[in-house]
Amino acid sequence: QKKWEIVSLFMCGAAMLTVGILIGHYGITNAPSWVKDVVRDVDESLIEKFLSEVDNIQIQENLKELTKVPHMATTAGDEQTVQLMLKRWQDPESGLDQAWREEYLVYLSFPDPKNPNKVTVVSPSETVLHTAREKEKSYTPDQDDPAVVQPYAAYSPAGHQRGRLVYANQGKPSDYLLLNQTVDLKGTIAITRYGGAGRAAKAINAAPYGVIGVLVYTDPLDINDGLMSDANETYPHSWYMPPSGVERGSFNTHYGDMLTPYLAAKEETYRIPVEDITGIPPIPIQPIGFEDAYILICELGGEAAPKEWQGAFNCTYNFGGPGFKPTSAFNNSDVKLDIFNHEKIKNSSNVMGVIKGSVEPDRYVIYGNHRDSWVHGAIDPSSGTSVMLELTRVLGKMVKQGKWRPRRSIIFGSWGAEEFGLIGSAEYTEVIYNESTRCLNSDTNPKHSFISCSANATLRASGMPSVQNVIFKAAKQVSSLKNELVSSGVSIQMGYLSGAGSDYAAFVHYLGITAMDISYTYDRSKTNARIYPAYHTAYDTFDYASKFIDPGFVSHQAIARTAGNVLIRLADSLVLPLNCSDYAEILEDYLKTAVNLYQNQLQVKHISMDPLKRAVASFRSAATHLDQVILSSDLANETPLKVRRINDQLMLLDRAFLNPLAFPDKYAFRHVIWASSSAGKPTFPGLADAYAKAESSGQPRDWDKVHYHLSVLSQAIEGAANTLLITKQ
């Protein structure tokens, strides 16, 4: 009895002690509640859920809605899209935490609807022998919309110019140089084809030779694989550009609002005098269709232009006498440009939205796409906008239902006035200039270039080397969904963001924010088109997109899945999925090329490449070190401030490559690795350009500039390497 009592007492006591310990340990936790939050990593099941909810039909409906009317920047159609974005992002069931508009007063250029720009051939007796089309031919009701803007060159000065016609190929400096050796260019009008040089450059390069006006057209060789007939070859029978199609565009060199360089274009912001603007055409320029270009070029007199100047027309492209052949009906006639463009300061809106982060609300992942188009803009930009809207719908719903809140904040931007020179995104970067140390990644969405080629769809992803990894991961995961239409054989083409082609420019070049640009593009082995053929024409419509670019909208769906996947990983990962060793690799490639190309000659000039070699080696060693720290750490169980430190190092890496001294002649280019370059070498852009200039001029001061840039570059890379360490030594 006693024994039983003791045993039962003991057993009861032991059991109670055990229960107590368990309650004490697990029931009354003494770890603060935030401990779990700060070490939480990305949730793969959430990504699966996101991928499954992205709906191609929703994207198609978004595109239909967005392309109902033309929505050129600051027009009534643009305002409709502003309202649409706000409505969607403020939707109580699938919207974001907050959405608002930000307005800028920006300097734009428009044709005059009452005085359309005119291009005519005028005989010596003042008879008008030919008039170029003032609007593109209609194939669907879309082209008849009165809001379709006449083809024009934004920022071309108004003016009335009349002169003999010459053919100047692509309007490159070398083209005018060659042409000028045969023809006296003084007082002439030059016709050029798109490609080879920037739009504004075709006029800027011409003016020093006395050329007084420029025409530009798209040669069927460059866009239509040579096809020209709308009877059966071009749209509406295929994706090719019809003969009357005209590529509109912004004819400027710098990005952002021109009157407020480096400052946000607010109402009371100081504006520079219009005469101080640089980088715009000094002489009138006007784009025309190849239908009209054919009539002009095939009648030109003078010597035959070189083989590389010949396009797809079934005639020899001559330089021009100047002017037309003696045998032509246009003999002795002039070409006349009557340009009525005018500039206006107009109110352009960015629509902004945010999903606030739970653990690190002051770390931002930015996802943006421009909203304004030239005409209906089904591909450029609405394909991207329709994808962004589907992505925010799926994410917004998860947030509103309480199923998800990202670790970091996500900012969405629907930029305005991109077509006039990346204005909306550039003004935004001028506003956040001082906050940019918090910004993580501008996941800019495609501007254009979706196409469905089921077996050969190419995912084109451009970005800093450090983002390649996460893009590959996301793309593989999406392609493994084995969608019926998008085959799993999707190939990925990785590139770099070295120009100022789209809204990533101000983020990359001005602020040094790690960025990427993801799109599906067509198979370049099957066509020579330099871009999708309806680009910036009145044919870039829902009809065109749904028939010839992505029937069924499965490529759109794949992009939404890929981009969203990347976005969630950037926003939720405990350690940012950025890889600094991939950056080291490209620096080593660039160095190797630079040494091969320049070292011998630089030695002759007593300029050492050693500091650059040492800097790249420092970077590699620092990147390897940081990789090892990440690999060897059990970050989910270490202090969250260690994760914070590593994330800061990864996040700020691109900022460390900024140096405002690097490109004194390039507006808003500060990233020493990714700036644009005219030298066309796969190496450090500033070095390549400075070297090319010194080599061509032979001037000691130009060799000094090579040395100077080498110092700037080496110290920037050395500095970037230091940011990957904790302290020096």
Binders in 87-126 for a copy of itself, by CB under 8 A: 98, 100
16 in contact with a copy of itself (CB under 8 A): yes
What are the tokens at 317? 């492209």
Rounded CA-CA distance 509/669 in Å is: 5
Contact with a copy of itself (CB under 8 A) among 3, 7, 23, 207: 23
Of 176 and 657, the one with the shorter C-beta distance to a copy of itself is: 657
The binder of a copy of itself chosen from 9, 177, 274, 315 (CB under 8 A): 9
Q: Does 22 help bind a copy of itself (rule: CB under 8 A)?
A: yes
Residues 363-382 that bind a copy of itself (CB under 8 A): 364
DSSP 138: P
- Report the alpha-carbon distance of residue 220 to residue 313 in Å, rounded: 8
Nearer to a copy of itself by C-beta: 485 or 617?
617
Strands 458-463 and 515-521: antiparallel
What does DSSP assign to residue 150? P
CB 394 to a copy of itself: min, Å = 22
Among 8, 115, 127, 491, binds a copy of itself (CB under 8 A): 8
Taking CB under 8 A as the criterion, the residue among 7, 25, 52, 491 binding a copy of itself is 25
Site for a copy of itself in 300-339 (CB under 8 A): none
Of residues 136, 247, 299, 418, which has the active-site annotation?
Answer: 418
Of 472 and 708, nearer to a copy of itself (C-beta) is 708
- Subset of residues 406 to 445 that bind a copy of itself, contact rule: CB under 8 A: 409, 411, 430-435, 437-438
Q: For the CB of residue 257, give the shortest distance to a copy of itself in the complex, in Å.
A: 12
Residue of the chain from 93, 126, 610, 665 that contacts a copy of itself (CB under 8 A): 610
**Contact with a copy of itself (CB under 8 A) among 12, 177, 315, 329:** 12
Of the listed pieces 5-13, 219-227, 483-491, 538-546, which binds a copy of itself according to CB under 8 A? 5-13
- AA identity, residue 720: A
Residue 687 CB partners (closer than 8 Å, separation 6+): 594, 598, 706, 709, 710, 713
Q: Which is nearer to a copy of itself, 98 or 697 (CB)?
A: 98
DSSP structure string for 343-359: EEEEEEEEEEEEE--SS
664 binds a copy of itself (CB under 8 A): no
CB nearer a copy of itself, residue 490 or residue 694: 694
From candidates 51, 69, 668, 716, binder to a copy of itself by CB under 8 A:
716
- Both structure tokens of 52: 């499954």
Largest CA distance in the chain: 135
418 is catalytic: yes
**Residue found under tokens 């950025």:** 578
Distances (CA, A) of 102 to 64, 352, 396: 25, 7, 21
Query: What dihedral angle (degrees, nearest 10) is formed by the CA atoms of 256, 460, 467, 617?
Result: -90
Cα 129 to chain centroid, rounded: 42
Should residue 637 be labelled a site residue for a copy of itself when binding is judged by CB under 8 A? yes
Nearer to a copy of itself among residue 35 and residue 315 (C-beta):
35
Shortest distance, CB of residue 614 to a copy of itself, whole angstroms? 9
Shortest separation between residue 282's beta carbon and a copy of itself, angstroms: 23
- Pair 577, 473: CB distance under 8 Å: yes
Identify which of residues 111 and 685 has a Cβ nearer to a copy of itself in the complex: 685
Residue 31 binds to a copy of itself (criterion: CB under 8 A): yes
CA distance 292 to 261: 38
**Closest CB to a copy of itself among 229 and 639?**
639
Report d(CA 487, CA 482) in Å as an integer.
6
Stretch that binds a copy of itself, among 24-32, 341-349, 415-423, 489-497 (CB under 8 A): 24-32
Task: Write each residue from 193 to 222 as x if it is in contact with a copy of itself (CB under 8 A), else as -, in one continuous string.
Answer: ------------------------------
Contacts of 26 (CB under 8 A, 6+ apart): none
- The footprint of a copy of itself on residues 568-597 (CB under 8 A) is none
- 3-state SS record for 657-720: HECCCCCCCCCCCCECCCCCCCCCCCCCHHHHHHHHHHHHHCCHHHHHHHHHHHHHHHHHHHHH
Counting contacts by CB under 8 A, is residue 6 touching a copy of itself?
Answer: no
Q: Contacts with a copy of itself: how many residues (CB under 8 A)?
A: 93
Should residue 57 be labelled a site residue for a copy of itself when binding is judged by CB under 8 A? Answer: no
The span from the CA of 210 to the CA of 189, in Å, is 9
Query: Among the candidate windows 368-376, 445-453, 586-594, 700-708, which touches a copy of itself by CB under 8 A?
Result: 700-708
Rounded to whole angstroms, the Cα distance separating 132 from 193 reads 16
Q: Is 712 in the site for a copy of itself (CB under 8 A)?
A: yes
Q: In the window 237-296, what residues touch a copy of itself (CB under 8 A)? A: 260, 262-264, 266, 268-270, 273
472 forms part of the interface with a copy of itself (CB under 8 A) = no
Instruction: Write out the binding residues for a copy of itself, residues 36-55 only, by CB under 8 A.
Output: 37-38
CB atoms under 10 Å from CB of 624, counted, come to: 14
HSE-CB of 446 using CA atoms within 13 angstroms: 27
In the sheet with 458-463, reading across from the earlier edge strand, the strands are 98-110, 342-355, 408-415, 360-370, 439-444, 515-521, 458-463, 491-495
Residue 226: left (phi > 0), alpha (psi -120 to 50), or beta? Answer: left
SS3 string, 268-302, reads CCCCCCHHHCCCCCCCCEEECCHHHHHHHHCCECC
> Per rule CB under 8 A, is residue 665 in the interface with a copy of itself?
no
Closest distance of CB 55 from a copy of itself, Å? 29
| Shortest reach from residue 329's CB to a copy of itself, in Å | 54
CA within 13 Å, CB half, 254: 20
Q: Contact, 250 vs 155, CB < 8 A? A: yes
Span interacting with a copy of itself, options 18-26, 151-159, 384-392, 625-633, rule CB under 8 A: 18-26
The verdict on 722 binding a copy of itself (CB under 8 A) reads: yes
Stretch in the footprint of a copy of itself (CB under 8 A) among 3-11, 196-204, 454-462, 673-681: 3-11
- Should residue 494 be labelled a site residue for a copy of itself when binding is judged by CB under 8 A? no
We find the least distance from the C-beta atom of residue 261 to a copy of itself, in angstroms, to be 9
Three-class SS state of 387: helix
**Residue type at 529 in one-letter notation:** A
Q: Which two tokens stand for residue 528?
A: 């020579």
Smallest Cα–Cα separation from 651: which of 464, 486, 524? 464
Name the minimum Å distance from CB 320 to a copy of itself: 43
| 699 lies in the site for a copy of itself, by CB under 8 A | no
Q: Is 648 in the site for a copy of itself (CB under 8 A)?
A: yes
Residue from 175, 292, 360, 380 binding a copy of itself (CB under 8 A): 360
Question: Which of 487, 498, 608, 624 lies at the binding interface for a copy of itself (CB under 8 A)?
Answer: 608
Residue with tokens 């040579």: 226
Which of residues 119 and 656 has its CB atom nearest to a copy of itself in the complex? 656
Tell the smallest beta-carbon distance from residue 21 to a copy of itself (Å): 4
- CB of 586 or CB of 629, closer to a copy of itself: 629
* Rounded least distance, CB 436 to a copy of itself, Å: 10
Which span sits near a copy of itself by CB under 8 A: 295-303, 440-448, 673-681, 708-716? 708-716
Q: Does 639 bind a copy of itself (CB under 8 A)?
A: yes
Which residue in 121, 85, 81 sits closest to 100, CA to CA?
Answer: 85
The percent of the chain in helix, strand and coil, each rounded to the nearest 5, is 40, 15, 40
Catalytic residue positions?
418
